[in-house]
Amino acid sequence: MNQAGIFHSCGGTWCYPTSGTMLTIRLWTAANDIDRVELVAADPYELTGEGPGRVWDSKLIPMIKTGTDGVHDFWEADADAPYRRLKYWFLVHRGRETREYGEKGLVSPADRHNFWNAFIYPYIHDEAIFRAPDWVRDTVWYQIFPERFRNGDPSRSPSGARAWQTGAVTNEEFYGGDLAGIIEKLDHIADLGFNGIYLTPIFASPSAHKYDTTDYLAIDPAFGTEGDLEKLVRECHARGIRIILDAVFNHSGTGFAPWKDVLEKGEASRYRSWFAIDRFPLFPEGKDSGDSHGAGFHTFAFTTGMPKLNAANPEVAEYLISTAVHYVERFGIDGWRLDVANEIDHPFWREFRRRVKRAKGDAFIVGEIWHHAIDWLKGDEHDAVMNYHFGQAIANFLSSASEIPDGVALARRVSALEAAYPEPVIRAGFNLLDSHDTERLITRLGGSLPLAREAWLILSLLPGAPCFYYGSEFAVEGGRDPDCRRCMPWDDVAAKSGMVEANEGAERRAEQYAFIRETVRFRRRHAALINGGKRIWIADAREPDLFGVAVTDGKDAILLLVNRGKRAIGRKRLWKAVGRSLDARGYSDESRAWLGSACARKELPAEGYARMALSGD
């Protein structure tokens, strides 16, 4: 028995409440080392017997192996805690060997009524229960970069705005996309089936991307007016579409009035403590070079045009939080995406959540955090983070990257990601494959639309809410920022402006539109099953190009199989691979029977997929 591979900690993702009387408890063991695990648990004060013979009245709960990352196996069990308290330890079995694992370590097993080596969860407080808005689980998001989506009111276009075009763009170019253009195309978004819109920043700013805010309380004039925002929210809600805005509270732009005051008055400015300033003069060499290395203040990255705000200053915190509340109360938006959320202190986000949720109880709060983010997802800060990790793993597999060379590696990676957070956090996730900050998905996959479609299908079956980047329905490509921010190739705009290339490949565009529409609608139709069901990852070392996911609630089931390879996987090979995959992961004969039967129906084509609802559709 590999003692070093066994780990548990009472709290975080290892032991968390899912209600006022239920705890989910997890254990890690070394991969392929432990045959079975039992949880020994009961209320700390639950005793049985009489007089001196009274003992702790614990129960044995079998734990389920939920996955592996190739280094650790993951085990899980739910335990009742009717009085909101629980003491527990683990019985770990390997062959004929059984050990007890508890707070004091791995020891020879004691009588199950003995709790000297127990972990203890002292009390389930309501604030410890993670709660994200219920509506998020049924949402499929559509991300819009407003400046490049649609020019609905040319009279508002910035001076020097270019004619709408396809192809490469720069961050210095303007094309006149605005709120009116988004309103014009809401029926397009609704027809695709999307019921959530995420807008990148719309507030006053000199740039095309708007991440350098000049005035947090003003809609950028090129985008429209407060009336336009009111109409956009109203029209979204009339179609059953939620809408969240992008808050840039880590830093401002150089045109922000308090920063301008600091630039003008230096140490005499009353706003000097509004920013993360180490010393004056701000520019030791006497001028702003654009690079903040050596400057007297902190910035986003090393861009002097984005000075970092000091959110720990109560005056700054009040200004920013009241701004967020203003847009919720005044315009009825449904939540916030929070830019560079990990560089702002936790007390700020706790107060932000308290105030925003007081204004709208089911507002959605999602942070931009690209790394492991459990510290922001304990129920008192964010409801979700932008889950790039799922998307990165999927794209790496489909592009045969060394990080995820085969289906087994992908199955291990997604299992590890699921084990990294409490299940309620995973089911509220904001999952995406590309965005304004990354390469377009098709470009990342070497221009392969078939592989991109496989990625979108996998995304649609992940727990959490999937997000599609605008233009995915037209197979838009593009490299890293700014190339990923191309103009949306609307047919009518193309006709007026002579953009012949936008109308080329009409059949391909129509097929892609239909694919995205059906994928989004399939996801919404089966949202309860996808977010509430048990997930089975399918992968086999002998078929490195194969990956699959099955979701079942015991009654209904969905199966997706993808083949990234250049040759088809025949029925016999497919059936055997699925059987070996289920055996390797310890799934039941029942699961093997229905999955094997489904996989035996047909071959899996080269760079192709098979998706089916095995019942209920």
Q: What angle do CA 521, 527, 533 make, to 5 degrees?
A: 140
Q: Which residue bears the tokens 């990342």?
A: 444
Cα–Cα dist 133/259, whole Å? 36
pLDDT at 251 over 50: yes
Mean pLDDT of 418-422: 95
Question: Which has more confidence, 349 or 51?
Answer: 349
pLDDT band at 615 (very low <50, low <70, confident <90, very high): low
Q: Which two tokens stand for residue 209?
A: 């991307």
Q: Tens digit of pLDDT for each residue in 261-286? A: 999 999 999 999 999 999 999 999 88
pLDDT band at 250 (very low <50, low <70, confident <90, very high): very high
Cα–Cα dist 199/79, whole Å? 41
Cα–Cα dist 436/469, whole Å? 8
Q: How far is CA 530 from CA 132, 161, 232, 402, in A?
A: 17, 44, 30, 29
Q: Which long-range contacts (CB under 8 A, 24 or more apart) does 326-332 make?
A: 326/217, 327/245, 328/356, 328/359, 328/360, 328/363, 329/359, 329/360, 331/226, 331/229, 331/230, 331/233, 332/233, 332/234, 332/237
Q: What angle do CA 518, 524, 525 make, to 5 degrees?
A: 85
Cα–Cα dist 328/499, whole Å? 39
Q: Tens digit of pLDDT for each residue in 74-90? A: 999 999 999 999 999 99
Cα–Cα dist 252/308, whole Å? 7
Cα–Cα dist 470/143, whole Å? 6
Of the candidates 70, 71, 61, the one whose C-alpha atom is nearest the C-alpha of residue 26 is 61
pLDDT at 616 over 60: no
pLDDT at 135 over 90: yes
Cα–Cα dist 537/336, whole Å? 32
Cβ–Cβ < 8 Å for 203, 245 = no
Question: Which has more confidence, 146 or 571?
Answer: 146
Q: Which residue bears the tokens 């017997």?
A: 49
Residue 320's CB is within 10 A of a number of other CB atoms, namely 23
Residue 381 annotated among the catalytic residues of the structure: no
Cβ–Cβ < 8 Å for 447, 399 = no
Choose, from 339, 434, 473, 543, the residue flagged as catalytic.
339
Q: Which two tokens stand for residue 348?
A: 């700020």
Cβ–Cβ < 8 Å for 151, 45 = no
The residues that bridge with 174 in the sheet, in sequence order, are: none
Residue 60's CB is within 10 A of a number of other CB atoms, namely 10
Q: Tens digit of pLDDT for each residue in 330-382? A: 999 999 999 999 999 999 999 999 999 999 999 999 999 999 999 999 999 99
Mean pLDDT of 433-439: 97
Choose, from 368, 423, 543, 607, the residue flagged as catalytic.
368
pLDDT band at 501 (very low <50, low <70, confident <90, very high): low
Residue 339 annotated among the catalytic residues of the structure: yes
Residues recorded for the chain: 617
